[in-house]
């Protein structure tokens, strides 16, 4: 049986009791997932909330093959991989380590560095580095399913080490475009951040078309690069009003940019620029689920189950 992702989300909410892993301690977590088998069983529940059936013959009866993560259908005898089509596919890292990484990442608001995770789990740094970056790609994959709509603030931001002598858009720091959807009463909703090589009208258009639903109203500070948004199916409000500073009009966006900078500087010192996008993806993922912290482990696991595998080369080059 196939489910769309939003159905999966819904089913997960009603599946068993909400486990609220954000609120359980390390001992309880260890008791729930002491073995690969326990992790595998839980993975199956998350992946097939209404029960498993063979994609070829529809039979619900399967037997485990001794080889890791392989099943054999008792109807058609076909073999299938439990992790195919998920982030864990072909990963030699045991599921238990993945589960622990997801649990620790989910319960730590400030983010988790590879060094920290390596020490906590007693596994090599290279492995935790790759795991965390893979988890970040799953986070990005998840957020890419949703677009902002309604009233959206948009602004530019610069990340990375300070670049003395160069200010504004001539800086060599990593440039990014930030979009924040506003809820009723102007409260912040969801956020998206995209790094760009050049901060120009073309980059703004490309970002807006992917991140924001057509017809939405985009509020900016009126910088020239945003002016063509109205030609591409958006309502553009350049809101620099006389007597008001930029901060008055894009207040929440500026707050979020400061938070994103603090998130990166606090946990991940001296980031190589080519990886900044993934840390920003993590920041956005967490921000967008800030009211659902207790569910974060299950949500992250679902994100990994529905995300394509990423090779080491894709992460490092």
Whole-Å CA distances, 220 to 93, 99, 240, 277: 45, 41, 8, 22
- Of 59 and 149, which CB lies nearer to Zn ion in the complex structure? 59
Closest contact distance (angstroms) between CB of 40 and Zn ion is: 19
Closest contact distance (angstroms) between CB of 14 and Zn ion is: 27
- Of 62 and 256, which CB lies nearer to Zn ion in the complex structure? 62
Q: x/- binding map, residues 21-60, to Zn ion, per CB under 5 A?
A: ---------------------------------x-xx-x-
- Of 69 and 133, which CB lies nearer to Zn ion in the complex structure? 69
Three-state DSSP state, 48? coil
Check binding of 1 to Zn ion (CB under 5 A): no
- Give me 91's structure tokens: 């990963």
Strand order of the β-sheet with 151-159 is 188-196, 174-182, 151-159, 217-220, 235-238
Counting every residue, how long is the chain? Answer: 317
Check binding of 75 to Zn ion (CB under 5 A): yes
Measure the CA dihedral 219/275/124/82, to 10°: 70
- Let me know how many helices (H) and strands (E) the chain has, helices first: 12, 8
Q: Taking contact as CB under 5 A, which single stretch among the options 76-84, 159-167, 289-297, 302-310 is the one that binds Zn ion? A: 76-84
Closest contact distance (angstroms) between CB of 55 and Zn ion is: 8
Q: x/- binding map, residues 182-201, to Zn ion, per CB under 5 A?
A: --------------------
The residue whose two tokens read 């504004």 is 168
Whole-number CA gyration radius for the chain: 22
Check binding of 61 to Zn ion (CB under 5 A): no
Q: With contact defined as beta carbons under 8 Å apart, do 219 and 211 qualify?
A: no
Binding site residues, Zn ion, CB under 5 A: 54, 56-57, 59, 73, 75-76, 78
């Amino acid at each position: 049986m196939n489910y769309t992702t939003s159905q999966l989300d819904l089913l997960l909410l009603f599946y068993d009791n909400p486990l609220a892993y954000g609120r359980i301690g390390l001992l309880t977590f260890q008791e729930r997932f002491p073995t690969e088998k326990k992790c595998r069983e839980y993975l199956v529940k998350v992946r097939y909330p209404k029960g498993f059936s063979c994609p070829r013959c529809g039979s619900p009866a399967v037997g485990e093959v001794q080889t890791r993560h392989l099943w054999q259908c008792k109807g058609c005898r076909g073999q299938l991989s439990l992790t195919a089509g998920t982030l864990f596919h072909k990963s030699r890292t045991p599921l238990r380590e993945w589960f622990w990484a997801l649990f620790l990442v989910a319960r730590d608001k400030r983010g988790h560095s590879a060094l920290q995770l390596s020490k906590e789990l007693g596994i090599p740094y290279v492995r935790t580095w790759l795991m965390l970056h893979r988890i970040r790609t799953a986070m990005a994959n998840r957020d890419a399913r949703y677009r902002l709509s309604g009233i959206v603030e948009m602004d530019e931001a610069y990340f990375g080490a300070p670049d003395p002598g160069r200010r504004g858009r001539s800086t060599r720091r990593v440039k990014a475009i930030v979009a924040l959807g506003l809820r009723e009463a102007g409260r912040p909703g969801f956020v998206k951040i995209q790094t760009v090589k050049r901060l120009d009208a073309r980059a703004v258009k490309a970002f807006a078309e992917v991140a924001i639903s057509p017809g939405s109203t985009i509020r900016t500070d009126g910088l020239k690069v945003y002016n063509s948004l109205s030609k591409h199916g958006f309502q553009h409000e350049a809101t620099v009003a006389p007597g008001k500073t930029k901060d008055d009009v894009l207040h929440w966006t500026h707050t979020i940019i400061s938070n994103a900078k603090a998130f990166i500087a606090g946990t991940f010192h001296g980031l190589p620029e080519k990886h900044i996008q993934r840390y920003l993806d993590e920041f956005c993922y967490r921000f967008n689920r800030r009211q659902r912290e207790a569910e974060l482990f299950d949500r992250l696991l679902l994100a990994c189950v529905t995300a394509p595998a990423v090779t080491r080369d894709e992460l490092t080059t």
